[in-house]
Amino acid sequence: MSCNLPDGVTIYDLPGCSREDEKLEIILEHLYEELKDTIQQYKYEFPLNNEEIAAVLEDLTPCEVRRYKRGQII
């Protein structure tokens, strides 16, 4: 597979493609799945609606937060 990168530049040198970015992506995907499963379990066991769950998550959200949308940091 060929690419158009200059000599000495790897795909990992590009913004958003570093090994650290890959690790963060994996961690965030894991967190997403854990939260989704936990919320589903609570909705099954207790009469919670989406607004109540959203309010709890908003209370838990740090002030400075990077937003995550399935598969990407926005």
20-29, pLDDT tens digit by residue?
878 888 898 9
Point out the least confidently predicted range of 10-19, 23-32, 36-45. Answer: 10-19
pLDDT of residue 37: 94
Percent of the chain with pLDDT over 70: 80
Q: Take residue 46 and report the two structure tokens written for it.
A: 């207790």
pLDDT of residue 34: 93
